[in-house]
Amino acid sequence: MEKLKQQLKEMIVTGLKLHDTTPEQIEDDGALFEEGLGLDSLDAVELVVLINKEFDIQIQDMEEGKTAFASINSLAQYISERQ
């Protein structure tokens, strides 16, 4: 699970071109959107595409996405349950 979390952090930083953020700065339990990492709705769309491309997992709707994208921990859990 730790390897998956690190992979997700690196994917977020490089895939979303977060030039001022390193994977080490992203907390496992920290929020990815709004007050946390500060991602927005455009980042969410890009993240859905990245997850699909990297893990071949489809996020079906906004509610499912909100749950999956709450934090690195929740995203890792979401992916591991579907692989």
Token couple for 55: 């893990």
Q: Does an H or E element contain 73, and which?
A: helix 72-82
Residues 28, 29, 40, 43: which is the catalytic one? 40
Token couple for 12: 């977020």
* Residues in CB range of 80: below 8 A, 6 or more apart: 1, 4
Q: Is residue 56 among the annotated active site residues?
A: no
Sign of CA dihedral 52, 77, 66, 35: negative
List residues with catalytic annotation.
40
